[in-house]
Amino acid sequence: MELRRSAGRATPRHARDHAVVLGASMAGLLTATVLSRTYATVTIVERDALPEGAEYRRGVPQGRHIHALQASGVLIMEELLPGLRAETVAAGAKQGDLLGGIRWLFAGHRLRRTDIGQPLLFCSRPLLEGQVRARVAKLPGVSFADGHDVVALATSPDRRTVTGVRVAASGGAGGDGGERVIDADLVVDTTGRASRTPRWLEELGFQPPPVEKMTVDVGYASRSYRIPADFLHGDRLVLTGCTPQNLRGGGVETIEGDRHLVTLLGMLGDHPPTDSEGFEAFAETLLFPDVIDAIRAGEPLDDPVVFKYPASVRHHYERLRDFPEGLLVLGDAVSAFNPIYGQGMTSAALQAQALARQLAGGGAPDWRRFFRAASAVVDAPWDTATASDLVFPGVQGRRTLRTRFVNRYVIRLQGAAVSDVSLAEAFVRVAGLVASPQSLLRPDRAIRVLLRGRPSGSGEPRRPVPAPQG
Ligand SMILES: Cc1cc2nc3c(=O)[nH]c(=O)nc-3n(C[C@H](O)[C@H](O)[C@H](O)COP(=O)(O)OP(=O)(O)OC[C@H]3O[C@@H](n4cnc5c(N)ncnc54)[C@H](O)[C@@H]3O)c2cc1C
């Protein structure tokens, strides 16, 4: 892949009609795709020196862990970049069905399986990001200023309009660290959880957005393996969920290069260790034996790596009454979810799609309308993730009557989905963000849940549950 780079270039000669995207991860790439339809030129500023292909990089440390792209994310990315799915498969990704290709082992239940016509992609995060980046690099007017750190916003003298960004060559890029300004008609911040927009707003005299936080203290450890091809019987992903009785979960995903990625995780401080023995001992304690069996059948290819995720955080930009013109924020910078639900890339895609809809109406994007539209699409994944976290007594948050009822209902539904494939399908469509959470409450489904549902943990016998730590 050849990236068009503008790193050494000064501000474009015609600054009008120029958009600058901060961050070249999934949200930034999808945002640039959408902007390239309307803006003559789009510059993506990225701190990392971007690799040519599917390599792990420092700015996306989560890329070393299982990264499931939800069904809705696959559909939106294909709509934004037609042909992406086939190209990613040609580059080594596997395809598999949302229900038929995944072993869903949730709330102590093994969900019934069948193909439901929702093909997903299974590959490493660097492969998917590399494929998207390669496509974005070919879009007319798009260039990358990688190896550049965004250090500040540039504004009009009255500080009410953002007119560009101040960037400096990042240490690793071999630059001298000297700063320069890239002018822009629009700046979109997609720098993820570390976004500095709230701080910049305060410096400019605006209120920062109200923040909602839910502490989950999740720890990940991942390692790649070579597992015999037929061991998983063609299944692309095995997912074992945590429960309040067992805070540990994990998964095995088929990725490119005949490899499998094994991720172990634990909620509320019950984190997996990284030494080989401890890693396997942790896998041994998951509710189902599928992950440890795969580990035992496989050969490790590297050492486990960790990631700690303290809290889900949502910035309510849609609640602001005043905000600078010429600036938007999108992706994890707006809403970063507990990663165990695998929603972040799809949430970024949904927000990019909301931006595309607004731009299709003509004119410059309006921050009020955009933040309202983005918030509307973030609501479902945010509500699902935070409500699911509230199942765990150790998670602090408001448990309304509705949350308690829905959580109990969903666990019962998962129990019924052990034998009722239509309920299994209904559940995975919601998890895949292709159906609304409300769809689970449809009267015909509720009746089946009441008739066939089983409380958590009454499925097949499993490994002993470890004593909760801490
Ligand atoms: C452990 C873990 C597992 C996850 N698993 C899944 C999953 O299974 N499925 C899923 O959909 N999502 C998952 N996610 C979430 C997903 O990774 C993100 O939602 C997704 O990458 C979109 O984030 P983003 O592009 O907004 O920000 P990020 O991915 O965080 O990217 C931010 C980018 O901005 C750059 N940057 C930051 N600061 C600056 C600066 N000052 N100047 C220039 N560049 C800068 C960074 O280098 C980076 O490239 C997971 C997250 C974690 C932590």
Tens digits of residue pLDDT in 10-62: 444 333 599 999 999 999 999 999 999 999 999 999 999 999 989 999 999 99
Please determine, for residue 4, whether its predicted confidence score (pLDDT) is greater than 90: no
Q: Scanning the structure block, which residue is given the tokens 């019924």? A: 416
Q: In the prediction, which pLDDT does 92 show?
A: 97
Q: Atom 50 of ligand 1 has which residue's CA nearest to it? A: 339
What CA–CA distances, in Å, run from 424 to 58, 99, 183, 462? 38, 8, 51, 21
Q: In the prediction, which pLDDT does 456 show?
A: 54
Report which of 57, 141, 63, 68 is spatially closest to residue 103, judged by C-alpha positions: 68
Verify that 27 and 142 share a domain, yes or no.
Answer: yes
Q: Which atom of ligand 1 is nearest to the CA of 309?
A: 53
Q: How many CB atoms lie within 10 A of CB 102?
A: 24
Q: How confident is the model at residue 177 (pLDDT cuts 50, 70, 90)?
A: low
Q: Scanning the structure block, which residue is given the tokens 């849940």? A: 449
DSSP 435: S
Report which of 469, 61, 63, 62 is spatially closest to residue 266, judged by C-alpha positions: 469
Verify that 135 and 120 share a domain, yes or no.
Answer: no
For residue 389, is it within any domain? no
Q: Residue 176 C-alpha to ligand 1 middle, in angstroms?
A: 27
Q: Which atom of ligand 1 is nearest to the CA of 29?
A: 25
Q: In the prediction, which pLDDT does 462 show?
A: 53
The CATH number of the domain holding residue 325 is 3.50.50.60
Q: Residue 379 C-alpha to ligand 1 middle, in angstroms?
A: 19
Verify that 149 and 291 share a domain, yes or no.
Answer: no
Verify that 49 and 194 share a domain, yes or no.
Answer: yes
The CATH number of the domain holding residue 103 is 3.30.9
Q: What CA–CA distance (Å, rounded) separates 334 from 48?
A: 21
> What share of the chain in percent tops pLDDT 90?
88
Residue from 20, 26, 187 to probe ligand 1 pocket by mutation (most atoms less than 8 Å from CB): 26
Q: How confident is the model at residue 229 (pLDDT cuts 50, 70, 90)?
A: confident
Number of structural domains in the chain:
2
Give the E-state strand segments of 228-303 in sequence order. Answer: 237-240, 248-255, 259-266, 299-300
Q: In the prediction, which pLDDT does 254 show?
A: 97
Which of 334, 352, 377 is the last residue in one of the domains?
377
Report which of 402, 445, 408, 403 is spatially closest to residue 424, judged by C-alpha positions: 445
Q: Which atom of ligand 1 is nearest to the CA of 48?
A: 47
Amino acid at 394: G
Domain hosting residue 277, numbered range: 95-124+213-310
DSSP 75-111: HHHHHHSTTHHHHHHHTT-EEEETTTSEEEEETTEE-
Please determine, for residue 273, whether its predicted confidence score (pLDDT) is greater than 70: yes
Three-state SS for 171? helix
Q: Atom 15 of ligand 1 has which residue's CA nearest to it? A: 344
Q: Residue 333 C-alpha to ligand 1 middle, in angstroms?
A: 9
Verify that 114 and 224 share a domain, yes or no.
Answer: yes
Q: Residue 90 C-alpha to ligand 1 middle, in angstroms?
A: 25
Asked if residue 160 lies in contact with residue 17, where contact means CB atoms within 8 angstroms, the answer is no
For residue 399, is it within any domain? no
Verify that 176 and 292 share a domain, yes or no.
Answer: no
pLDDT 10s digits, 91-146: 999 999 999 999 999 888 999 999 999 999 999 999 999 999 999 999 999 999 99
pLDDT 10s digits, 340-381: 999 999 999 999 999 999 999 887 899 999 999 999 999 999
For residue 197, is it within any domain? yes
Which of 279, 310, 341 is the last residue in one of the domains?
310
Three-state SS for 309? strand
Please determine, for residue 194, whether its predicted confidence score (pLDDT) is greater than 60: yes
Q: How many CB atoms lie within 10 A of CB 51?
A: 16
Verify that 172 and 32 share a domain, yes or no.
Answer: yes
Q: Which atom of ligand 1 is nearest to the CA of 150?
A: 42
What CA–CA distances, in Å, run from 207 to 160, 164, 214, 320? 13, 20, 22, 8
For residue 459, is it within any domain? no
Q: What CA–CA distance (Å, rounded) separates 458 from 466?
A: 17
Q: Which atom of ligand 1 is nearest to the CA of 330?
A: 26
Note the residue count of the chain.
Answer: 470
Q: Scanning the structure block, which residue is given the tokens 């690799």? A: 51
For residue 469, is it within any domain? no
Verify that 197 and 344 share a domain, yes or no.
Answer: yes
Q: Which atom of ligand 1 is nearest to the CA of 59?
A: 47
For residue 154, is it within any domain? yes
Verify that 238 and 373 share a domain, yes or no.
Answer: no
**Hey, what are 453's tokens?**
């549902």
pLDDT 10s digits, 406-446: 999 999 999 999 999 999 999 999 999 999 999 999 999 99
Q: Residue 239 C-alpha to ligand 1 middle, in angstroms?
A: 21
| Residues whose CB falls within 8 Å of the CB of residue 138, separated by 6 or more in sequence, listed in order | none
pLDDT 10s digits, 309-328: 999 999 999 999 999 999 99
The angle at the Cα of 101, spanning 462 to 92, to the nearest 5 degrees, equals 120
Which of 377, 392, 426 is the last residue in one of the domains?
377
Verify that 243 and 326 share a domain, yes or no.
Answer: no
Please determine, for residue 173, whether its predicted confidence score (pLDDT) is greater than 70: no
Q: Atom 3 of ligand 1 has which residue's CA nearest to it? A: 339
For residue 268, is it within any domain? yes
Using CB distances shorter than 6 Å, the residues near ligand 1 are 22-28, 45-48, 59-60, 62, 65-69, 149-150, 190-194, 220, 307, 309, 331-333, 339, 342-346, 348
Q: In the prediction, which pLDDT does 14 show?
A: 37
Q: How confident is the model at residue 199 (pLDDT cuts 50, 70, 90)?
A: very high
Q: Residue 32 C-alpha to ligand 1 middle, in angstroms?
A: 15
Phi, psi of 469 (to 5 degrees): -95, 165
Q: Residue 31 C-alpha to ligand 1 middle, in angstroms?
A: 14
Q: Which atom of ligand 1 is nearest to the CA of 218?
A: 1
Q: Residue 152 C-alpha to ligand 1 middle, in angstroms?
A: 20
Q: How confident is the model at residue 463 (pLDDT cuts 50, 70, 90)?
A: low
Q: Atom 48 of ligand 1 has which residue's CA nearest to it? A: 59
Asked if residue 292 lies in contact with residue 280, where contact means CB atoms within 8 angstroms, the answer is yes
Q: Residue 157 C-alpha to ligand 1 middle, in angstroms?
A: 33
Element (H, E) at 350: helix 344-360
For residue 114, is it within any domain? yes
Q: Which atom of ligand 1 is nearest to the CA of 23?
A: 34
Report how far apart the first and last C-alpha atoms of the chain are (Å, whole number): 48
Q: Residue 370 C-alpha to ligand 1 middle, in angstroms?
A: 21
Verify that 179 and 55 share a domain, yes or no.
Answer: yes
Q: In the prediction, which pLDDT does 464 show?
A: 45
Verify that 48 and 137 share a domain, yes or no.
Answer: yes
Asked if residue 144 lies in contact with residue 137, where contact means CB atoms within 8 angstroms, the answer is yes
Report which of 412, 329, 341 is spatially closest to residue 381, judged by C-alpha positions: 341
